[in-house]
């Protein structure tokens, strides 16, 4: 609901402070409430009383302020904002018993402990000396739940992340640029400042913020590190823990409710010193905050795309502002949003222009796809041959999973399309299905064309699965590993593969974005981006930025060890100005150009944009709602365009339309939206559609 509700204090008591968790009666139910604010009312006759105060000031004031801001800025109702800061179990009346901690570590006292006549306790201590284990791992090795409890009670073991720090592993020595960046962050340790740490791939950005984190930890402060996706960066958490000398509390959407609550409480009490989490961790309470880090800040997974739509990076900056602490946004390929903030002086740009250690940037070349027999031919094929021969590893990036993006009938031209989306179905040959990558619908591959009966249906184009097959045929002696959501569905699978690859034996990796996410693979000497052409002609104004980021990230995987690297960019349009610019200059000047273009076209981030979206099973109700909504917006500061169809105009059976809301100044937009949004709930047209506001949208 778009509003807050008024209650009186419990009989004979003062009003509990804001942030208190209370139980109230609502309609004919009893529910949990959160006190947001207090004030006088003119007429209290119809107001109910708070029934009981459960936790006083549970949510700290700065976090309440953050969700007030987020609700206003992103236009979501207060209830959704509260969902972001209160774990599920605290939003329900049912009492909840915290489950035993899952990840366990040995404490300093445990290391020196000598349990007499307790070999089972000794076993557990011995196992944990080698590193964190989960409770299930301990039990499967023969530990009993009772022994684990005893050790926890003695303080010899502790939930991981809450034990006293060990000696931190000394990191490599910083080069002058890294040292300057570190010094700049540390000079601001007592106040808010936002830094954009833009370092070329392999430049040791992580080392800079880990050393800043160490300095904060030594002062007894907590450090919050946001990363795009936990499963894709298994090495990062281990590296953070080794450098900081303590286990991180890891927070992400895959946790059970009990684990979430445990993290929440550890963060709120200050017991958790280092918290590593995905975007939702930005809303964790912190007792002694010292530093916020957003790693790979350009990554689109920081944006929540459903429910309460917020951008984790932008909320992190506001959070640091409210806390009065520094925030570091790190990336080799910063978003135009952050570069724009650096241009305007809101963020301070810290550049690291060379790779750490002896490694140098790879050499670049463009391979012309015209006249070739598919992606694996000509120049690229020769390069693969050469690098494997020389004992190198090869990494090939293709932004399409599945066998082929289109399945077609050669006789009548029929193509397999999704019935619920405006999109082709992707052929997954191994699973023998056609699957829609937008709504997930899948069906068996038809034996013949449903239109004309032709039995010989043809796959068109190549996804990662087909490339894997072709590579295996062409290089039967060399292991080929496919890395995408289909092949790496299990959580630990990817981590194991990365370890195998780091042993350094020649191999070929072929995969999607998962491969381009900041991994350090010193054996890779050749990296290539296959067939980028779709992105060159996209209707999405962000496509060139994303292309540039993917290209530079993939290129950055090559030559990180002691051997020089090569990068190949494959295209049918080698003369395209965007590609020419990318090859000629570095990412920052490429991005600077794009930013000039956005400014000229009055597009984000140079002009603020919000989108009101509506979806319905027919186009008409969605359009009608948006037209009615547009009529209600009477603010000269805001320009309204539309309704116009989304780029993917139908998804999952819903027709999708949107209004573009633009203004010269962000403040004008943010000021106009809340009252307008509140008024839309009452529109009769609203009942027939699903609608939401998307501030700073990433999807068009
Ligand atoms: Zn046909
Ligand atoms: Zn679909």
Q: Are residues 524 and 581 in the same domain?
A: yes
Q: Are residues 64 and 117 in the same domain?
A: no
CATH number of the domain residue 634 falls in: 3.30.70.600
Ligand positioned closest to the Cα atom of 435: 2
pLDDT at 562: 86
pLDDT at 166: 61
- pLDDT mean over 527-549: 91
CA of 563: how far to CAs of 525, 526, 589, in Å? 7, 10, 27
Q: Ligand 1 center to residue 429 CA distance, Å?
A: 20
CATH number of the domain residue 530 falls in: 3.40.50.300
Q: Ligand 1 center to residue 427 CA distance, Å?
A: 17
Considering only 105-109, 341-345, 483-487, which range has the smallest mean pLDDT? 105-109
Ligand positioned closest to the Cα atom of 407: 1
Q: Ligand 1 center to residue 653 CA distance, Å?
A: 25
Q: Ligand 2 center to residue 694 CA distance, Å?
A: 22
Ligand positioned closest to the Cα atom of 414: 1
| Number of domains forming the structure of the chain | 5
pLDDT at 415: 96
Ligand positioned closest to the Cα atom of 412: 1
Q: Ligand 2 center to residue 543 CA distance, Å?
A: 22
pLDDT > 90? residue 18? yes
DSSP 7-42: -BPPTTSPPPPTT-EEEEEETTEEEEEE-------S
Q: Are residues 306 and 233 in the same domain?
A: yes
| CA pair distance 33, 36, nearest whole angstrom | 9
In a domain, 431, yes or no: no
Biggest distance spanned by C-alpha atoms of the chain:
85
Q: Ligand 1 center to residue 462 CA distance, Å?
A: 21
Q: Are residues 343 and 373 in the same domain?
A: no
Q: Whole-prediction pTM value?
A: 0.91
CATH number of the domain residue 49 falls in: 3.40.1440.60
| CA pair distance 522, 504, nearest whole angstrom | 8
Q: How many CB atoms lie within 10 A of CB 495?
A: 18
Considering only 314-318, 505-509, 625-629, 668-672, which range has the smallest mean pLDDT? 668-672
Q: Do the strands 289-295 and 222-226 form a parallel or antiparallel pair, or are they unpaired?
A: parallel
CA of 77: how far to CAs of 1, 63, 82, 84, in Å? 6, 16, 9, 12
Q: Are residues 551 and 690 in the same domain?
A: no
Q: Ligand 1 center to residue 449 CA distance, Å?
A: 5
Q: In the beta sheet, which residues pair with residue 428?
A: 433
Which pLDDT tens digit goes with each residue over 110-157? 888 888 888 899 999 999 888 788 888 888 898 898 999 899 888 888
Find where tokens 């031919």 sit: 377
| CA pair distance 545, 298, nearest whole angstrom | 10
Q: Ligand 2 center to residue 650 CA distance, Å?
A: 8
Residue 553 near residue 518 (C-beta atoms within 8 A): yes
Q: Do the strands 442-444 and 289-295 form a parallel or antiparallel pair, or are they unpaired?
A: unpaired
Q: Are residues 303 and 278 in the same domain?
A: yes
Q: Is 696 left (phi over 0), alpha (psi -120 to 50) or beta?
A: left
Q: Ligand 2 center to residue 653 CA distance, Å?
A: 8
Q: Are residues 576 and 673 in the same domain?
A: no
| CA pair distance 291, 163, nearest whole angstrom | 20
Considering only 110-119, 538-547, 550-559, which range has the smallest mean pLDDT? 110-119
Ligand positioned closest to the Cα atom of 458: 1
Triad 660, 661, 662: Cα angle to 5°: 115
In a domain, 427, yes or no: no
Cα 16–chain centre separation: 36
Range of the domain at 289: 176-352
Q: Which of 70, 54, 22 is nearest to 283 (CA)?
A: 70
Ligand positioned closest to the Cα atom of 438: 2
In a domain, 86, yes or no: yes
Ligand positioned closest to the Cα atom of 413: 1
Q: Are residues 303 and 282 in the same domain?
A: yes
Percent of the chain with pLDDT over 90: 66
Which pLDDT tens digit goes with each residue over 630-646? 999 989 999 999 999 99
Q: Which of 400, 448, 451, 453 is nearest to 427 (CA)?
A: 400
Mean residue pLDDT of the chain comes to 91
Q: Ligand 2 center to residue 646 CA distance, Å?
A: 15
Task: Taking each helix axis as running N to C, give the angle between helix 176-187 and helix 205-218, from 0 to 180 degrees, rounded to the nearest 10.
Answer: 40
pLDDT at 167: 65
| CA pair distance 522, 519, nearest whole angstrom | 9
Percent of the chain with pLDDT over 70: 98
Q: Ligand 2 center to residue 435 CA distance, Å?
A: 8
pLDDT at 490: 75
Q: Are residues 279 and 346 in the same domain?
A: yes
- pLDDT mean over 400-411: 95
Q: Ligand 1 center to residue 456 CA distance, Å?
A: 9
pLDDT at 103: 80
Last residue of a domain, which of 49, 71, 91? 91
């Amino acid at each position: 609901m778009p509003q807050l509700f008024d209650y009186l204090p419990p009989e004979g008591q003062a009003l509990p402070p804001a942030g208190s968790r209370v139980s109230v009666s609502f309609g004919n139910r009893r529910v949990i409430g959160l006190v947001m604010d207090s004030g006088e009312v003119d007429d209290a006759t119809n107001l109910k009383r708070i029934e009981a105060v459960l936790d006083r000031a549970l949510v700290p004031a700065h976090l309440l302020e953050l969700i007030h801001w987020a609700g206003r800025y992103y236009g979501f109702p207060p209830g959704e904002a509260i969902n972001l800061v209160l774990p599920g179990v605290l939003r329900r009346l049912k009492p909840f018993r915290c489950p035993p901690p899952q990840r366990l570590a040995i404490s300093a006292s445990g290391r020196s402990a000598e349990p007499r006549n307790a070999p089972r306790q000794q076993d557990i201590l011995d196992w944990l000396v080698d590193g964190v284990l989960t409770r299930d791992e301990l039990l499967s090795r023969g530990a009993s739940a009772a022994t684990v409890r005893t050790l926890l009670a003695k303080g010899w073991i502790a939930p991981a992340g809450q034990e006293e720090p060990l000696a931190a592993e000394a990191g490599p020595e910083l080069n002058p640029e890294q040292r300057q960046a570190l010094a700049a962050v540390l000079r601001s340790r007592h106040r808010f400042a936002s830094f954009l740490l833009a370092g070329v791939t392999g430049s040791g950005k992580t080392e800079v913020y880990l050393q800043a984190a160490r300095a904060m930890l030594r002062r007894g402060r907590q450090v919050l590190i946001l990363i795009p996706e936990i499963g894709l960066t298994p090495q990062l958490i281990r590296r953070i823990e080794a450098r900081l000398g303590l286990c991180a509390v890891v927070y992400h959407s895959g946790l059970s409710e009990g684990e979430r609550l445990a993290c929440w409480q550890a963060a709120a009490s200050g017991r958790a010193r280092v918290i590593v989490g995905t975007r939702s961790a930005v809303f964790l309470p912190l007792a002694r905050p010292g530093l916020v880090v957003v790693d790979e800040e350009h990554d689109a997974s920081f944006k929540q795309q459903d429910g309460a739509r917020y951008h984790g990076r932008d909320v992190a900056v506001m959070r640091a502002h409210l806390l009065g602490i520094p925030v570091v946004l790190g990336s080799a390929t910063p978003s135009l949003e952050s570069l724009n903030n650096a241009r305007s002086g809101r963020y301070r740009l810290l550049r690291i222009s060379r790779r750490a250690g002896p490694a140098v940037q790879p050499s670049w070349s463009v391979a012309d796809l015209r006249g070739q027999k598919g992606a694996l031919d000509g120049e690229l094929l020769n390069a693969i041959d050469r690098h494997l021969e020389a004992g190198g590893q090869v990494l090939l990036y293709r932004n399409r999973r599945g066998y082929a993006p289109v399945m077609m009938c050669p006789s009548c031209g029929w193509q397999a399309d999704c019935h619920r989306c405006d999109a082709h179905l992707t052929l997954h040959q191994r699973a023998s299905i056609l699957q829609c990558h937008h709504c997930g619908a899948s069906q068996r591959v038809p034996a013949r064309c449903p239109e004309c009966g032709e039995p010989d249906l043809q796959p068109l184009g190549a996804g990662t699965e087909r490339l894997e097959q072709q590579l295996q045929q062409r290089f039967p002696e060399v292991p080929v590993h496919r890395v995408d959501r289909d092949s790496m569905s299990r959580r630990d699978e990817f981590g194991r593969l990365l370890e195998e690859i780091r042993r350094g034996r020649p191999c070929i990796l072929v995969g999607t974005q998962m491969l381009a996410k900041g991994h350090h693979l010193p054996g890779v000497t050749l990296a290539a981006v296959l067939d980028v052409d779709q992105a060159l002609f996209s209707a999405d104004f962000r496509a060139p930025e994303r292309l540039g980021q993917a290209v530079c990230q993939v290129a950055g995987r090559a030559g990180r060890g002691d051997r020089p690297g090569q990068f190949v960019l494959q295209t049918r349009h080698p003369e395209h100005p965007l590609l020419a610019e990318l090859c000629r200059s570095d990412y920052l000047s490429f991005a600077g150009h794009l930013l000039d273009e956005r400014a000229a076209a009055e597009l984000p981030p140079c002009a603020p944009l919000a989108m009101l979206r509506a979806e319905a099973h027919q186009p008409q109700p969605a359009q009608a709602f948006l037209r009615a909504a547009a009529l209600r917006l009477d603010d000269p500061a805001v320009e309204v365009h539309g309704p116009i169809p989304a780029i993917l105009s139908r998804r999952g059976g819903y027709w999708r339309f949107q209004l573009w809301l633009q203004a010269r100044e962000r403040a004008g937009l943010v000021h106009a939206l809340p009252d307008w949004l509140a008024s839309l709930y009452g529109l009769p047209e609203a009942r027939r559609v699903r609608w939401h506001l998307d501030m700073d949208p990433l999807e068009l």
